[in-house]
């Protein structure tokens, strides 16, 4: 009986060791890839309240995105815990417009867009065979544009580079030893800034929601 128990224990330990080694080989090391997705957001007052500019209430961007990412994963020895650091760069697409009212006998049109966004994120995940679910958080910088024009073409908006922070969740799935798919969601808040070039306007901040899918390669 003792020999049977010892043999079974040794077999289980051997299987766990193989699984851990496989997971470490799968997720550890340098990687890079491409992603596509959709970004939705909202421009708000600096205190988070409603922005109402001559009838244009909380204009928001909604646009397809595309980008690249690269990073490094480290799996702790004899553990499914994975820690990593990842950098990304994304570009946005078309701007979304929203018409307002009460603009001194003309109807304003507001456009909000994020032409590009770059981020540096720390990641923590749990390797479960081919799956790597993770959480992430970090810093971000983005070019944000807010345009408000009336019927005669007068532009009261501006564009600014704004820092901010980002948090998110996601999962990677290993197709092969070096090839993986991913899906993730992230929430970004850019720092409050004055996107209007008229005197007396209060600062505003931009909240962003990003949904992405991608493919990566581990080197």
- Quote the percentage of the chain above a pLDDT of 70: 64
Structural tokens at position 148: 């408000």
Q: Name the band, by pLDDT with cuts 50, 70 and 90, for residue 132.
A: very high
Number of domains in the chain: 1
CATH of the domain at 23: 2.40.160.20
What digits encode the pLDDT tens for the residues 91-115? 986 665 555 544 444 555 667 778 8
38 CA to centre of own chain: 10
Q: What is the pLDDT of residue 35?
A: 97
DSSP code of residue 104: T
| Residue span of the structural domain in which 125 resides | 2-218
Q: Are strands 62-75 and 29-45 parallel, antiparallel or unpaired?
A: antiparallel
Residue written as token pair 């798919």: 181
Q: Which of 114-128, 137-151, 176-190 has the lowest mean pLDDT?
A: 137-151
Is pLDDT above 90 for 68? yes
Structural tokens at position 107: 């109807």
Determine the Cα–Cα distance for residues 22 and 29; give it in Å rounded to an integer.
13
CB within 8 A of 165, min separation 6: which ones? Answer: 137, 138, 139, 140, 188, 189
CB within 8 A of 157, min separation 6: which ones? Answer: 110, 111, 145, 146, 147, 148, 149, 195, 196, 197
Determine the Cα–Cα distance for residues 33 and 177; give it in Å rounded to an integer.
15
Which tops the pLDDT comparison, 96 or 175?
175
């Amino acid at each position: 009986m003792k020999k049977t128990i010892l043999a079974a224990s040794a077999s289980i330990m051997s299987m766990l060791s193989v699984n851990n080694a496989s997971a470490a080989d799968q997720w550890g090391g340098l990687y890079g890839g491409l992603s596509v997705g959709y970004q939705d957001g909202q421009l708000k007052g600096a205190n988070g309240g409603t922005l109402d500019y001559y009838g244009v209430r909380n204009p928001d961007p909604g646009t397809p995105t595309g980008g690249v990412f690269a990073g490094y994963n480290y799996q702790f020895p004899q553990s499914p815990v994975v820690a990593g650091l990842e950098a990304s760069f994304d570009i946005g697409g078309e701007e979304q417009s929203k018409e307002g009212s009460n603009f001194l006998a003309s109807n304003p049109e507001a456009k909000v867009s994020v032409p590009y966004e770059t981020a540096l994120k720390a990641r923590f995940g749990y390797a479960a065979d081919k799956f790597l679910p993770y959480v992430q958080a970090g810093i971000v910088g983005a070019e944000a544009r807010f345009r408000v024009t009336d019927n005669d073409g007068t532009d009261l908006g501006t564009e600014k580079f704004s820092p901010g922070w980002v948090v998110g969740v996601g999962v990677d799935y290993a197709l092969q030893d070096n090839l993986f798919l991913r899906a993730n969601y992230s929430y970004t808040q850019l720092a409050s800034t004055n996107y209007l070039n008229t005197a007396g306007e209060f600062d505003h901040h931009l909240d962003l929601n990003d949904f992405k899918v991608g493919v990566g390669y581990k080197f």
